[in-house]
Structure 1
């Protein structure tokens, strides 16, 4: 552990030119006293490192000296694809590994490319969760990732839409979609895998049983096909609605691209008040009821009658509730 930290000190100084003990301590999450001891050890090892006191002081390597100890460990190489996703890497428990990998890659670059990489980090940031959530925390995400990596079966207690179930799963891969983690897994004896939201795993027990992952299983290709099928199944019905200008604008914010495109394609000319009539695809009466309520008085359902009646009943109940006061 200490040897790794000493190397990190060298790489940080090589990448940044000059850093104070406080800056080094903050980056490596140790005390300044520890940094002082590390610098003494580097001096004793013959590393051409010197320090300057004062406001503009700090530690610095002799000009022209560069360490060649930038080789990646096997663990760091495995996590290379996560270097641009620090948030998900932290969720998987790989934050420290990815940070060390980024440092080594940064130190290995020649000065012009290092400056460009620094600018990229300063000007582009990937934040995968949506505005109304802080990600998809799960106490079983790291264990699920370990089972995926080691190809080991797991027994899970899972909250499905029908209730709690217990399953033995063979996890093929993990997918981060819209800030939420899903595990693509098969059940023993079944050929076609399914998706399970990791956040809904209530308990997980690693089993001492391996499994053979199909050699031709392509996780990205399978996921793309799964998304296409999901979207095709999602909208099985349709509703005819009238939308105010504000309601149509609001619909673009809350609805998915399929719904927005359908409304744009079917919308007739606006009436004297700017309202338009359009046909939009719906998943179910219950789902459409909840979604259209978000538009308030900026939408009127014309058909189907069952959906119109549900919204009318909700509106009447809301009016009664507010008039009682």
Structure 2
């Protein structure tokens, strides 16, 4: 903790030129006595610090001395800034990332620092989305610590069906998908993916583990998500869609053009084979398109959608409310 604070103090002085003891104490969130001890520690470490006395006094680095970020060119800097620390979705992690960004800024040459500030002013990432998420990320810092140190974890995990059970896992990595965080871990029955917001009572054990020699987090995630997508699109439906509906469904569902057989298509309409998770989702989506969509196959779905549409029409003309 002290080493991190000393580095922060050094970077603050490098960025601002000169700061008083009070200003350093406020920025580092420590007492002025601690600042004096930290300045002494930096001097002992060989950092050329000067103590300026008087009303305008304070601490500053010897002129011309600065830490450097070696080999960082403009494209690399732009790529680094585009990661946008504030997009992490967790206040504690975002705050730590902002501190790291401040240290990076302080270590840059003045010309490159101006470029970095200009780049940051031109990018903002809102991780909340249009539909606010209720993700509980209170356990994320503990999980991150265990992942970084290869320490075994125990926690209570609540599955999607509401069942909660204890788990003991070797955490191999973290994946951020949008504002949702997942932990990939090795359990007794193989590699598993856990949603961090469903993890409670996390305990980082003193027991360390050895990572699988050939494990690749990126490769595992790609394969896992591909399998999930395939499983989620196991209910295939052939739909007739007007141009607007066809464009809409093609943006967020897996849809493949097919021949409509003997069915004559209205002008501009198309026949698409669409993969849904289940019949319920297919009915919900098809009814949402109203007269812009018709079900060709399967027959059972077509009949149920027609029955749903008749029930909706009947409810709309009824004089009394249900119940």
**TM-score in terms of structure 1 length:** 0.71
Note the 1:13-24 alignment, pairs <5 A. Answer: 13=16
What's the counterpart of residue 77 of structure 2?
A: none
Moved over 4 A (4+): 1-6, 27-30, 47-52, 267-273
8 A contact 1:251–1:295 mirrored in 2: no
The one of 258, 270, 279 aligned to 1:266: 258
Match of 1:75 in 2: none
The answer to whether the Cα contact below 8 Å between 1:236 and 1:284 also exists between their aligned partners in 2 is: yes
Relative distance call for 1:236 and 1:252 in structure 2 (3 A) is closer
Alignment correspondent of 2:10: 7
Alpha carbons 1:293, 1:311 under 8 Å: kept: yes
TM-score normalized by the length of structure 2: 0.71
Q: CA 1:155–1:292 in structure 2 vs 1: closer, same or farther (change >3 Å)?
A: farther
Q: Distance in 2 between matches of 1:132 and 1:50?
A: 55
Q: Contact 2:8 / 2:28 at 8 angstroms: preserved in 1?
A: no
Tell me the residue number matched to 1:242: 240
Distance across 2 between alignment mates of 1:124 and 1:88: 11
Rounded to whole Å, the distance in 1 between the matches of 2:178 and 2:8 is 35
1:206 is the counterpart of 2:204: yes
Structure-2 residue corresponding to 1:131: 130
Matched, 1:309 2:295: no
**Structure 1 residue 47: Cα displacement:** 5.8
CA distance in 1, matches of 2:134, 2:64: 40
Partner of 1:218: 216
Q: Give the Å deviation of 1:271.
A: 4.2
> What's the counterpart of residue 183 of structure 1?
183
Q: Distance in 2 between matches of 1:82 and 1:217?
A: 28
* SS of residue in 2 equivalent to 1:185: strand
Match of 2:147 in 1: 148
Q: Spell out the pairing of 1:1-325 with structure 2 (5 A cutoff).
A: 6-13=9-16, 28=27, 46=50, 65-68=63-66, 84-89=83-88, 91=90, 93-134=92-133, 136-166=135-165, 167-188=167-188, 190=189, 192-253=190-251, 255-256=252-253, 258-259=254-255, 262=256, 265-266=257-258, 271-325=265-319
Shift of 1:239: 0.9
Cα distance in structure 1, aligned partners of 2:10 and 2:95: 15
Q: Secondary structure at the match of 2:210?
A: coil
**Structure 2 unpaired stretches of 5+:** 40-48, 70-79
Q: CA deviation at 1:208?
A: 4.0
Cα distance in structure 1, aligned partners of 2:259 and 2:127: 33
Question: What is the alpha-carbon distance in structure 1 between the residues aligned to residue 145 and residue 271 of structure 2?
Answer: 52
Q: How many residues align?
A: 290
Distance in 1, matches of 2:55 and 2:107, equals 23
Cα 1:51–1:320 shift into 2, 3 Å:
farther
| Superposed CA RMSD | 4.3
Q: Distance in 2 between matches of 1:83 and 1:7?
A: 25
Pick closer, same or farther for the CA change 1:290–1:156 going to 2, 3 Å.
farther
Q: Is the 8 A contact 1:129 1:180 kept in 2?
A: no
